[in-house]
Structure 1
């Protein structure tokens, strides 16, 4: 069944566009600047997401301490000295502290907190090792996937992709995201020395981002919450907004281990 003419399905569009434009502006400037500016943005964002994770699990025990623990762990882990990869052991600080003091969902918190921080660290490494164009490609794929999925899902509706986990995500939106990512790959092929490998990789990256979104949706359903927080009008929290980017970053980190990414860098 098509999306129909119900105007309520577009009710959140204005708030999403406004807050989205602000995030794109801040994030774009940080990516362009690179260095400590992008690193500090990554530290702040991942730390807030770890705090949001904690508040989702412990709505009755929200604490600023988890935010501070994540901040300290991120800095110590090498976000600001990414050439010292052995500092990554400090990424265990927040997951271990949270897992120890949590009254429930200890493994859930530890696993998600660690994944968030590793993904954030990965983005910093990608910016430093592969350059601004490479990171912009990754971000654009994730953003375009989300936009295409949003409009296609709202317009066409249809069968749900995984109704038990993410009741709003449709197959039409999911496939539209893949196709849009493929188009992004083609555009970057035309603008950079990248080969045609970029099209299927862009589509795989799109799927990885969608799985990041699915993972957070599953967590929210498990915790019985609508959003990770209310920090961003129309979007919920930072975790809600960047779950797909985290999934994409983790996917590329795995790819970096399996393949020689510098050979296919722009």
Structure 2
């Protein structure tokens, strides 16, 4: 019996080579994330600052792969800038959030304007996660994360089981309309679940799919940037998963939208 016949052989086993590191990494990320969301305060803020700095490092690395030391300097700059913004919590904080973007734009790299714009999104998302945790509490952050995760999982399985027309073939050849709509439906169900549990108003049912769409666009943007850079993963920081941007791209898009909505609405229907 050859390796491609029956139920065994190296061909079949090869498909599951990364299963163990993926599961272990996922369990660790869920445990750490859940603990920090529950703790909140400075502990959660430190975690977000470190993750944000890591994502800026990845962005600097994939847009300027020949530069060895500058990505680390960018990460340090991002950590210092976000830390200052979180300490100030004033209008001046917005200026600090743009510092890494200017640094990326002023150094030699591929797609400097795109990199700078994405750096702003990363920094705003980092600031927004801490701000949203402080204002909406554990319930608000859980809703945001669950909407993003549910949309991603529903879209993944629907896209592969149903297939069909592509959502945005010029930018993301793999994303389908079936997966996109499934993500919206999953987000609606999450919003409905929070409402029925008494943890949000009915407007949350309409808001959840909009936030899911923002997350899907964040995922598409990150994938597009990686294709332009000619890389499969943003880094190898997370065994079996790739990099931080690969795991948090959708959360970046969703959080930025929530921050923008917060400029126009005093209170979101959550918590």
- TM-score higher than 0.5 here? yes
Specify which of 21, 44, 66 is matched with residue 74 of structure 2.
Answer: 66
The match for 2:228 is 222
TM-score, normalised by the number of residues in structure 2: 0.88
Q: Distance in 1 between matches of 2:205 and 2:20?
A: 31
The match for 2:84 is 76
1:88-111 deviations in Å (ceiling 9; x for gaps): 312222221222122442212211
| Alpha-carbon RMSD | 2.2
**1:143, distance to aligned residue in structure 2 (A):** 0.8
The match for 1:139 is 145
- Classify the secondary structure of the residue corresponding to 1:169: strand
Q: Distance in 2 between matches of 1:97 and 1:39?
A: 23
Number of corresponding residues: 258
Mean Cα deviation higher: 36-45 or 154-163: 154-163
Specify which of 90, 98, 105 is matched with residue 111 of structure 2.
Answer: 105
The match for 1:265 is 270
- Classify the secondary structure of the residue corresponding to 2:236: coil
Q: Please tell me whether the aligned partners of residues 216 and 253 of structure 2 are also in contact (alpha carbons under 8 angstroms).
A: yes
The match for 1:28 is 34
Query: Which gives a bigger RCO, structure 1 or 2 (Cα 8 Å, sep 6+)?
Result: 1
Summarize the Cα distance change of 1:265–1:82 in structure 2 as closer, same or farther, 3 Å threshold. Answer: farther
TM-score, normalised by the number of residues in structure 1: 0.89
Q: Distance in 2 between matches of 1:196 and 1:220?
A: 38
- Structure of greater Rg: 2
Structure 2 runs not aligned, ≥5 long: 1-11
Structure 1 runs not aligned, ≥5 long: 1-6
**1:15, distance to aligned residue in structure 2 (A):** 4.7
The ranges of structure 1 where at least 4 consecutive aligned residues each deviate by more than 3 angstroms after the TM superposition are: 10-18, 82-85
Q: Distance in 1 between matches of 2:176 and 2:110?
A: 32
Please tell me whether residue 188 in structure 1 is matched to residue 194 in structure 2. Answer: yes
Q: Distance in 2 between matches of 1:18 and 1:261?
A: 38
